[in-house]
Amino acid sequence: MNKKHWIVFSILGLFILACKKDIPIKEEIEKFLGFQKPINFPEPEYKFANNPVTKAGFELGRALFYEPRLSRNNTITCGSCHIQSSAFTQHGHDVSHGIEDRLGTRNSPPIMNLAWSKAFMWGGGVYDLDLQPIVPITTHEEMDENLDNVLKKIKAVPKYTAMFKSAFGTEEVTTARFMKALSQFMLMCVSSNSKYDKVMRKEAGVTFTADEQEGYTLFKQKCASCHSEPLFTDGSFRNNGLGISAINDQGFYAATLISTDKYKFKVPSLRNLQYTAPYMHDGRFLSLAGVLEHYNSEVQQTPNLDPLLKQANRLGIALTQNDQVKLTAFLVTLNDPDFINNTLLSEQ
């Protein structure tokens, strides 16, 4: 073997070694471990006893989440509006785009850490994750289908009857099983591997920079009463002072018909903001800078404005330019690339 051959063989050898090393790591990431509560998270709200997450149930849920037969003309999937690379939001759209390009009125929220949610949708109205899919399936602007038809279409596909059998013991395709499987997939969409989480869990070698630490301190003073740790929402409905939109979306009021709920919306999590723009229930802000300026100088006195945003002498939350830089540095630590790249959650 001359020198040239030797070099070629060495490079080939290294390449094979590198590939070999990759395989077990990938398998490790993709191994199905079921639902696991991150150690820095509280106990979940979802009643897992009624719907334990199994590998077969999760896989069925994942297939259904990415299944166009859930829509009237078999074109739209849940994943059309909840795109994994955008932390399961619909990036680039202020309000959602559904069947035949019909426009909704609200921004697609992330499918993320829903095991800890008591109420769903920007304006509430749904209080059980197992019932939520009825809304997108039957909404005119979203999938425009009905559940009977969906179940009929699913039953006709042998792949699905086999999957229902592995997940639930028999081939029977029922509404309850269909909903439970979708929930199992959504419950597994847990984002808990941001830099923030690693710092909180005191993982070796991970610390905040000085800017991030200052931002964290500001965050706890100015934002955490609504966006509370570690989910970055307290799950409540509040009015954060956005100007009333042309369509006059009254938020939580539509669900409760209590006038003190007018213009209140669910406090969203602040995890993965890098991937979820635009922001707010109607996607009115394209950037984080726009959001911070809203809190600093654009809060409007509308009915039921949250008292936390009404100080003695001013509306909103005073944020200097420096505060905004530090807060942004902290918010960036809430991004979780592992979540958007987790192939377990991707269309197979």
Write out the residues near ligand HEC by the rule CB under 6 A: 70, 76, 78, 80-82, 96, 98, 104, 106, 108-109, 111, 114, 117, 120-123, 132-133, 136-137, 142-143, 182, 186, 222-223, 225-227, 238, 240, 242, 265, 267-268, 270, 273, 276, 279-281, 291, 295, 306, 308-309, 317, 327
**Distances in whole angstroms, Cα of residue 18 to Cα of each of 11, 12, 23, 25, 270:** 10, 10, 9, 11, 37
- Using the minimum distance from each CB to ligand HEC, give the nearer residue, 188 or 317: 317
Task: Report, in Å, the least distance between residue 14 CB and ligand HEC.
Answer: 44
Task: Report, in Å, the least distance between residue 128 CB and ligand HEC.
Answer: 11
- Using the minimum distance from each CB to ligand HEC, give the nearer residue, 26 or 91: 91
- Using the minimum distance from each CB to ligand HEC, give the nearer residue, 253 or 295: 295
C-alpha radius of gyration, the chain, whole number? 23
Task: Report, in Å, the least distance between residue 144 CB and ligand HEC.
Answer: 10
- Using the minimum distance from each CB to ligand HEC, give the nearer residue, 72 or 281: 281
User: Which residues are CB-contacts of 33 (< 8 A; sequence separation ≥ 6)?
Assistant: none
- Using the minimum distance from each CB to ligand HEC, give the nearer residue, 160 or 295: 295
Tokens coding 219:
């965050």
Task: Report, in Å, the least distance between residue 15 CB and ligand HEC.
Answer: 42
Task: Report, in Å, the least distance between residue 192 CB and ligand HEC.
Answer: 16
**Distances in whole angstroms, Cα of residue 256 to Cα of each of 149, 237, 261, 269:** 31, 11, 7, 22
Q: Is the separation of the CB atoms in 319 and 297 below 8 Å? A: no
**Distances in whole angstroms, Cα of residue 195 to Cα of each of 191, 212, 290, 323, 335:** 11, 10, 24, 20, 7
